[in-house]
Chains A and B, each alone.
Chain A
């Protein structure tokens, strides 16, 4: 009877092992954070883990939320607007030809290790982005700095186009005029980075991020929790007003909402769609919400080189055939029906522009004109994501009413980008564009210019008069004239309709009554320097 005995032993050992693992593993699961009693802490939550804290790498809302808190750039935007403000730089000058920019740094900024921030640190931050080994997504924004090619090819130790005559002055020389270059310096890519902290970690700087911002990284448990605490060396006296920020990771919007109701979360930036109508109907809750129309445009792109979208009447018919009010209703009102390419809140936005109304009858007439009265079928590509698919199905329902059969092609976003960038491959697709800088060029030139075919101009739109307008406007340093040229260009796009203009997303956030000065920014994540929490 040896066998049964051994088998029992085995079972007993396994069960004992379970118990041990169970006991050991549960320890890290708790939400307890070691902070001094009486600390003022802001509790927030995110659905997913934060992708990265390395300012050269991050290019998404979650990463930027915390990069903005940990790092400083020369200039930044206001808390609730997209006006440039001093950050590390106290003042700056630019040459009339928009090719030389001089910044004067403040003397009292320090990294969280106590070392003063100098112009070398700003240069190092940008050089990290331009070094191919970093694989940075921000490379293209700084490539027009003189000598970037030599630097990237390791033919030069430093960028020729950045001068640091003294620790408090930095001068940029560009290869070509760039009236919006200063905005590129307000992106977290251009953060001041302490070389002594970044170099030893190489790619793992993300886990050990250190900058001169109001906060510093204390703890980051992958997928569970991110904790920032105040940087004692932060240059703004009296700021930050919080001692710490605790971000719980992997918390669904539904759970965030319940935790908010229980008072465990101070801010919820994504109210679950199902709860949203209730919040809006409850005056107490409604008073605690705030909203901001983002500088983002959601659209349905139509490939102007592919039948039947080669015909402008068909493209207009699609525009008339989509019920934007229904899309906005499906988003629980968190959107504004789009009238054109440029979103409201973007300088250069034209409030007079009428866009397309929902008019299925007119849509059918246009199709008849185009000899397509019997309809046609086409593929509509989109990212495989719940909201996208819901909107896609709504459009599918709408267009069925004017006789069109829409085949939805949901794909992962890598293949999605790959496919739409191929010429004559994708007939139509759902996409959106979020502004990187507050300037019409970021939409009209980046998304619709001839030289962006195969890159960001995925509708393969081309119109000679449009092209000459945006080419002129891009280098224009007189902003009034610049906006007027872009406005004329936008009108051509709306009439030619390479896109069906869908909606401008609106974000909502709800805060507890004890949270102060938490404000939404139309383009960037909320900044935490001024946020305060009163005892509750």
Chain B
């Protein structure tokens, strides 16, 4: 297990290193001079020259990268050009808002998705199944930013029951959560449906049914448990994605999370902040992958055996 663990961690670190190189290269093909970004629209050439020197921009690219990496490993992602603040701290200060939204959206989408998927599988081939299939496809096909805008108009303007965006207490969480959750719920219901269908055709389920158990209780007791595992895995990885910021939903609802921070950073070409948010997101995904891999290995020893061979 330890060998497996070390292997996975080294692997994750290598992926992160690759990510950092790509992000850094992107940052440096940006045709905007960071000094201009930092000094603002009105700066004179002398100010620009001073700032360029201060930022090490006159050093070779690999030196700049080495310095960046060294600092990043120590948790310092540099300073925002626009806000003049530590990128690490900016991300940390926006994380709670994003986390609340991501977790509530994940919870709602899993509950909805599992319910829809289970019902559809229970009535496999019937009208309910087809209706739910079309409904879930419709949910998946809805553009998130439009759904958000529509919910704002309906819930915020006409019903006046919800705030029109912003982050102020539980009620403000409802519309953005729905916006995020509906699409994934449709997706999860499809995934669960497919998995359940496969499980139901397996021998153990057939045996159980042969012993006289009703189809529904068989599905719930046995097939469901096995079909859930891939879904939870998928949800775990999605959660990592959500936690790294949801640009569109946060933009529609003016949610003070990492997604909005990243959006502002890209629009201002605030390079340290762009790199910071992208790396943070990659970090979460690598960690989630690691956790999922470890869980799988723990649940199914064959995986770790085959890996160590």
- Our verdict on whether A and B bind, yes or no, reads yes
A residues adjacent to B (C-beta < 8 A) = 2-8, 10-11, 14-15, 17-18, 21-22, 25-26, 28-31, 47-49, 51-52, 54, 57, 59, 132-133, 135, 137, 139-140, 143, 152, 203-204, 206-207, 221-224, 248-252, 254-255, 258, 384, 412-415, 417-419, 436, 446, 454-456
B161 interface residue, CB < 8 Å from A? no
Q: Which of A30, A249, A414, A454 has the most CB of B within 10 A?
A: A414
Contacts across chains A and B counted by CB atoms under 8 Å:
185
Contact between chains at A249 and B256 (CB < 8 Å): yes
Contact between chains at A30 and B228 (CB < 8 Å): no
Which of A14, A26, A419, A456 is the one whose CB lies under 8 Å from B173? A26
How far, in angstroms, from A206 to B93 measured CA to CA in the complex?
15
Chain A hits for B226, CB < 8 A: 3-4, 7
Chain B: minimal CB distance from A227 (Å): 14
B255 interface residue, CB < 8 Å from A? yes
Contact between chains at B164 and A258 (CB < 8 Å): yes
User: CB-defined interface of B11-44 with A at 8 Å, one 1/0 digit per residue?
Assistant: 0000000000000000000111100111111111
How far, in angstroms, from A222 to B100 measured CA to CA in the complex?
16
Chain A: minimal CB distance from B47 (Å): 5
Chain B hits for A31, CB < 8 A: 168-169
Q: Which of A11, A31, A152, A249 has the most CB of B within 10 A?
A: A11
How far, in angstroms, from A12 to B162 measured CA to CA in the complex?
30
Chain A: minimal CB distance from B99 (Å): 6
Question: What are the 6 A-B residue pairs with the smallest beta carbon separation, nearest first?
Answer: A223-B256, A4-B225, A414-B32, A25-B100, A414-B269, A222-B93
Contact between chains at A139 and B50 (CB < 8 Å): yes
Chain A hits for B36, CB < 8 A: 414, 417-418
B197 interface residue, CB < 8 Å from A? no
Chain A hits for B257, CB < 8 A: 223
Q: Contacts A26-B173, A456-B42: A207 and B85 contacting too (C-beta < 8 A)?
A: yes
Identify 7 residue pairs between A and B in the complex whose beta-carbon atoms are under 8 Å apart, listed by A's number.
A8-B228, A14-B232, A18-B104, A25-B103, A26-B173, A29-B172, A250-B167
Chain A hits for B82, CB < 8 A: 51
Chain B hits for A413, CB < 8 A: 41, 267-268
Chain B hits for A10, CB < 8 A: 232, 295
CB-based nearest B residue for A416: B32
Contact between chains at B170 and A29 (CB < 8 Å): yes
Contact between chains at B295 and A223 (CB < 8 Å): no
Q: Which of B32, B236, B267 has the most CB of A within 10 A?
A: B32
Contact between chains at B83 and A135 (CB < 8 Å): no
Contact between chains at A412 and B31 (CB < 8 Å): no
Contact between chains at B256 and A255 (CB < 8 Å): no
Which of A8, A18, A29, A206 is the one whose CB lies under 8 Å from B225? A8
Chain A hits for B38, CB < 8 A: 135, 137
Within 8 A of A (CB), among B249-305: 254-257, 260-261, 264, 266-269, 295, 298-300
Contact between chains at B103 and A22 (CB < 8 Å): yes
CB-based nearest A residue for B228: A7
Within 8 A of A (CB), among B33-82: 33, 36-47, 50-51, 53-55, 79, 82
Q: Which of B54, B103, B260 has the most CB of A within 10 A?
A: B103
B112 interface residue, CB < 8 Å from A? no
Contact between chains at B165 and A222 (CB < 8 Å): no
CB-based nearest A residue for B252: A252
Chain A hits for B106, CB < 8 A: 18
Chain B: minimal CB distance from A531 (Å): 24
B229 interface residue, CB < 8 Å from A? yes
Contact between chains at B165 and A255 (CB < 8 Å): yes
Other CB < 8 Å A-B pairs besides A222-B94, A248-B166, A446-B42, 17 of them? A3-B226, A3-B299, A4-B226, A25-B100, A29-B97, A29-B172, A49-B256, A140-B44, A140-B47, A203-B86, A204-B85, A252-B166, A255-B163, A255-B166, A412-B268, A413-B41, A419-B31
Chain B hits for A251, CB < 8 A: 165-166, 254
Chain A hits for B53, CB < 8 A: 132
Chain A hits for B54, CB < 8 A: 132-133, 135
Chain A hits for B143, CB < 8 A: none
Chain B hits for A26, CB < 8 A: 100, 169-170, 173
B90 interface residue, CB < 8 Å from A? yes
Contact between chains at A7 and B225 (CB < 8 Å): yes
Within 8 A of A (CB), among B192-250: 222, 225-226, 228-229, 232, 235-236
How far, in angstroms, from A224 to B93 measured CA to CA in the complex?
10
Which of A7, A222, A258, A384 is the one whose CB lies under 8 Å from B267? A384
Contact between chains at A59 and B85 (CB < 8 Å): no
How far, in angstroms, from A4 to B218 measured CA to CA in the complex?
13
B107 interface residue, CB < 8 Å from A? yes
Contact between chains at A418 and B32 (CB < 8 Å): yes
CB-based nearest B residue for A257: B164
Which of B55, B99, B267, B300 is the one whose CB lies under 8 Å from A25? B99
Contact between chains at B167 and A417 (CB < 8 Å): no
Contact between chains at B100 and A137 (CB < 8 Å): no
How far, in angstroms, from A3 to B204 measured CA to CA in the complex?
14
Chain B hits for A132, CB < 8 A: 50-51, 53-54
Q: Contacts A414-B37, A418-B31: A436 and B295 contacting too (C-beta < 8 A)?
A: no
Chain A: minimal CB distance from B180 (Å): 14
How far, in angstroms, from A11 to B228 measured CA to CA in the complex?
9
Contact between chains at A250 and B166 (CB < 8 Å): yes
Chain B hits for A249, CB < 8 A: 256
Q: Which of A17, A22, A455 has the most CB of B within 10 A?
A: A22
CB-based nearest A residue for B31: A415
How far, in angstroms, from A417 to B35 measured CA to CA in the complex?
11
Which of A2, A15, A203 is the one whose CB lies under 8 Å from B107? A15
Chain B hits for A2, CB < 8 A: 299
Which of B90, B94, B100 is the one whose CB lies under 8 Å from A29? B100
Q: Contacts A10-B295, A54-B84, A133-B54: A3 and B100 contacting too (C-beta < 8 A)?
A: no
How far, in angstroms, from A99 to B227 measured CA to CA in the complex?
81
Chain B: minimal CB distance from A339 (Å): 24
How far, in angstroms, from A417 to B36 measured CA to CA in the complex?
8
